[in-house]
Amino acid sequence: MADRFKPKCTRPVRAGRPGTAGAYLVLVIACVFVLYPLLWIVSCSFRATAGIVGSSLIPTEASLGNYRQIFTDRNIFFPRWFFNTVKVSAMSSLAALVLAAPAAYAFSRMRFPGRRASLIWLLIIQMFPGFMAIVALYTLLGWSGLLDTHLGLILIYAAGSIPFSVWLLKGYFDSLPRSIEESALVDGATRFGAFTRIVLPLAKPILYVVGLINFIGPYADYLLAQVVITSSSKWTLAMGMRSLTISQFATSWPLFSAVSVLAAIPMVLIFLSSERYIIPGLTRGAVK
């Protein structure tokens, strides 16, 4: 009963009939706009005939041939691309967190000469167009013998994401109460102990978000991977897909579609299940 007296319309748009119909119209059109390309690429991946690709979403002869080929053809070997990509992305995401979290903690909790300058410095240096670094990075990797290795790629991804990660983590650490840490320090815990045992567990949501964003970046990157990696056994997904779209465009399109679908599915699942952490994490860091 009480519900009837609560103001029903609290949202920006009035809940009148025409308003709701309009909202549905907008949403349905938007969903069609979003879904058509996706359904098209899925349907392409089931197409048996290579050359002719039409606009209809239901293929005339559906088959799993493309999927079979990318799991058996040694030149277009999806499992290896996928394994390489996950390995590189996961390791760089982890390395980025290990490098950035202590720094973010120091920036958030300690006051020291050079703190403000360093934070601004971190912001500014990452604005230089990334690939202009490639000539220098290529030389550096050559000196250290890391060319054409996943380790080289991982180190560059991880270190390259430091500024962004530090800022995002610092924003979140700032919002955590200091009282728990301080009482632990009074009880004789070390600074580092307070950081690893108290702050890090409290900061799990943002660690997850930063880790995820640093996972997505390498997962989709093509530019740097293509410069560092040369041998095809070490290719990542993006490189493999690019090779399919460049080589014989129309003929390998169904194969490309199959790889795309399989590459996208894990990301979609991860993303949709963690989306509710991402937005608060991002706006907390960016808006505040």
Partner 1 sequence: MSKAKCQRGEGSTRRVSPKPVFDPACARPFVAGLLSVPVAGLGQMVFGRGTRGALFALIEVLFCVLYFRVLALPLARLGTLGTRPGVDDSRQILLAGILAAMVALMYGSFHVYNVLDAARGARGQRQASRRVRLRSFGAVSPYLYTAPAFAGATLVILVPLVFGICLAFTNYNLYHSPPANLFSWVGFENFKRILSPLSPWRAEFLRVFVWNITWAVLGTTLAFGLGLGIALALLNPGVRWRSLFRAILMLPWAIPATVSIMTFSGLFNTTFGPVNQILKSIGLRAIPWFQDPFWAKIAVLLTYVWVGFPFNMAVSSAALQSIPTELYEAARVDGASAWDCFARITFPLLFRVVAPVLVLSFAGNFNNFSIIYLLTGGGPAVPSSRGSGATDILITWVYNLGFQQLQWSYASALAVIIFLIVVGMSMLNFRLSGAIMQLQGEGEQDG
Which 142-201 positions form the footprint of partner 1 (CB under 8 A)?
A: 143, 155-156, 158-160, 162-163, 166, 191
CA-CA-CA-CA torsion sign (81, 87, 93, 95): negative
**Tokens 């930063």 map to which residue?**
210
Residue 235 or 256: which CB sits closer to partner 1? 256
Q: Is 250 in the site for partner 1 (CB under 8 A)?
A: yes
Q: Is 208 in the site for partner 1 (CB under 8 A)?
A: no
Side chain identity at residue 181, one-letter code: E
Sole binder of partner 1 in the list 102, 151, 189, 277 (CB under 8 A): 102
Q: Is 13 in the site for partner 1 (CB under 8 A)?
A: yes
Residue 69 or 126: which CB sits closer to partner 1? 126
Length of the chain: 288
Sole binder of partner 1 in the list 1, 55, 75, 187 (CB under 8 A): 55
CB atoms within 10 A of CB 82: 18
**Token pair listed for 251:** 């003929």
Least Å from the CB of residue 223 to partner 1: 7
Tell me how far apart the alpha carbons of residues 158 and 218 are, in angstroms, rounded to a whole number. 9
Tell me how far apart the alpha carbons of residues 67 and 88 are, in angstroms, rounded to a whole number. 24
Q: Is 34 in the site for partner 1 (CB under 8 A)?
A: yes
Dihedral Cα 42, 44, 45, 46, nearest 10 deg: 100
Which 62-81 positions form the footprint of partner 1 (CB under 8 A)?
A: none
Least Å from the CB of residue 64 to partner 1: 20
